[in-house]
Structure 1
Amino acid sequence: MNRIATIEAVESFLPDSSHTIEELAGPLGLKRAQVRLLQKVHGLHRIRQDPDASLLDLVLPAARRVLHRVPDPTDIRYVLYVHSTQEVTPSHLNAAALISDALDLQHAASFAVTQQNCATALAAIELAGTLLEDDGDPYARVLIVTGDKTFTPGNQLLYNTGALMGEAGAAMLVATADTAGDRVLSYATQTMGQYSGGVLLSPEESKQYGRDSARALADVMQEAVEQAELTWDDIHWVIPHNAPLTETVKHLGIDPTRVYLEKLAEYSHCFASDVFLNYTELRDSHRLQPGRHYIYVASGLGATYSSMTFQHQAPALPRLTTI
């Protein structure tokens, strides 16, 4: 069993403002046929978006709720800001430092992680585990904050992938693998660089990208389950980003009712945040059971596919000793 990290707390945040796809069609230049395609094929109907709110307005609420779980804020050694959009602030501003300062965590080292786009948050959890292992202090913690603003039509509508992006923030408190909480058991990832063009792919490349994505995502999900020495019968819920997974589910031969996509139509895809948004929706509706196993699933434009298994509310492990 891999000893990667433990996620002690997860919180999410959504803007109050909700919009239908029809309301966004004009500003985004969508034709009626494109709106119908997004609705009927991709299952999208509404998004959350607040044009008047800043990036800090989006990401800080969830982070502050997580920090309420920390008796001593100096235990936070690192603040990782995960974002999918490369340009999140003017070039003279450091978004990670702004977030750290706003949370009164100036003592912590802060930096951004973004290279895997919407799959970056899972990579950040693994990175947090590495940082904590190197730190060696059992009280040390890493705060991971996610959230992107849909500040331009090009940033919001990724039509060749069927994605209409919404806004959401999320935050996680990551501790060593020995502590109690959601214990991470495995992490699998794969990047297919031939699709690095993302939104610039030709129509023919986009079709092939869609076909290859389903198989690649199924492969990393299977790898993560096997790394954790589990079977699909052990997995209680698949918790993915908000995108249809029909073909991936077919490849794996798993029950589609175990894939949590109930909020896809209402929230759409929210960059790197929606995996954790879906987690908190399941948790708050009392559908996560202590001791059961779950799997996070995310893909990032470019194209990275990642999956992470964890045991919910696992007890603390005995600490490893070195001789």
Structure 2
Amino acid sequence: MTSLEAVSSYLPPTISVAELRDPLGLDDQQVRRFTRLYGLDRICQAPDQTEADMLLTAAGKLDELAGQEDRVRYVIRAKGLRTTAPYPVSPLQQVREALGLRNATVFSVADHGCATGLLAVDTAGTLLEADGDPDALALVLAGDKTFTPFSQWVADVSIMGEGMTAVLVGANGPRDRVLGYHARIVGREDGIIDLDPEGAREAKRIYQDVMSDVIHCALDDAGLTMADIHLVLPHNVNRVSWTVAAKELGIAPGRIFLENIAKTGHCFCADPFVNYQSARELGLLRPGAAYLMTSAGLGQSFAAMVLEH
């Protein structure tokens, strides 16, 4: 059964939403909406660091990786964006070489937007199971650089941060075992993910219903109900969407971990793992408790994963 062997994060220094007013071309109303209504305050940014630098910093915090490099069979880059570095730069190959992962096959997964991190964990588990070696590991690297204007914010939705995470995945670990996973894309036939006015209206219309259905499908896969879930570790899109989701799911808002929204911004597909690490440090996950990771991304991609700590 797929398991999370270890999770580490790198959260670079932050800048306030107010300081991003001019760089992003925000007006006063938008600044107020992001801060007072959506709960955003500080946004992770690392303008002087490359994507490879940031990924290496996150992976370097994985104490469980030290001395186990030869066990890593796969390095999987979870990309919320299709392009995260200018050609021919390959941050993923740079990370593989710097970490000394000689036996690892490297590749990226994308096109699930900010839900790609959970897809990468599921992919890692599938490959490790097929590999048949109980000692084999996979390293999932999640998070993106906001190196284009398009990637820096989603109008009237969220502002993107540059936090990165490294997740060591095993085939049959003793804790943080994956009990259920479900993903869905409700995209356009032409594959365009830009939120034009019509697309934004459609995204808003379906968002809560599809997210709720995907979560319940993952719960069904795990043989559990929402009442069995101790904590929800979401993507940090904004506070309002999760206040509404709590009502839709029939749970108390306090069961959804929202503390990082104000501290990091929306760090693409790294969010659930950033929240996992914070929840562990705060003692919010008890042994044997079931918890839920969720995420959604541009292109109307949705994913949910149920795990047992």
How far apart, in 1, do the equivalents of 2:282 and 2:211 lie? 27
Matched, 1:247 2:244: yes
How far apart, in 2, do the equivalents of 1:52 and 1:70 lie? 27
Query: Structure 1 stretch 64-73 or stretch 146-155: which is displaced more?
Result: 64-73
How far apart, in 2, do the equivalents of 1:132 and 1:50 lie? 33
**Structure 1 position 72, deviation (Å):** 2.9
TM-score, with length taken from structure 2 = 0.94
TM-score, with length taken from structure 1 = 0.90
Matched, 1:185 2:179: yes
Deviations 1:21-76 (A, max 9, x none): 11011111111111112123322121111211111221112212225445431110
The question of whether the paired residues in 1 share the 8 Å contact of 2:120 and 2:140 is answered with: yes
Number of aligned residues = 305
Amino acid at match of 2:61: R
How far apart, in 2, do the equivalents of 1:94 and 1:56 lie? 8
Sequence identity percentage: 38
Question: 2:89 pairs with 93, 102, 105, which one?
Answer: 93
Pair 1:81–1:126, CA change in 2 (3 A)? same
How far apart, in 2, do the equivalents of 1:102 and 1:147 lie? 18
Matched, 1:12 2:6: no
How far apart, in 2, do the equivalents of 1:57 and 1:97 lie? 12
How far apart, in 2, do the equivalents of 1:302 and 1:285 lie? 34
How far apart, in 2, do the equivalents of 1:68 and 1:221 lie? 30
How far apart, in 2, do the equivalents of 1:54 and 1:70 lie? 23
Question: The residue matched to 1:86 in structure 2 has which SS?
Answer: coil
RMSD of aligned Cα (Å): 1.6
Deviations 1:264-297 (A, max 9, x none): 1221100111111111001011111011000000
Pair 1:208–1:41, CA change in 2 (3 A)? farther
Amino acid at match of 1:168: G
1:259 aligned partner: 256
Question: The residue matched to 2:62 in structure 1 has which SS?
Answer: helix
Q: Aligned runs of 1:131-210 on 2, under 5 Å? A: 131-160=127-156, 162-176=157-171, 178-194=172-188, 196-199=191-194, 201-210=195-204
Matched, 1:309 2:306: yes
Structure 2: stretches of 5+ with no match in the other structure: none
Query: Structure 1 stretch 230-239 or stretch 68-77: which is displaced more?
Result: 68-77
Q: Aligned runs of 1:1-323 on 2, under 5 Å? A: 3=1, 5-15=2-12, 17-66=13-62, 68-160=64-156, 162-176=157-171, 178-194=172-188, 196-199=191-194, 201-243=195-237, 244-312=241-309
The question of whether the paired residues in 1 share the 8 Å contact of 2:81 and 2:111 is answered with: no
Structure 1: stretches of 5+ with no match in the other structure: 313-323
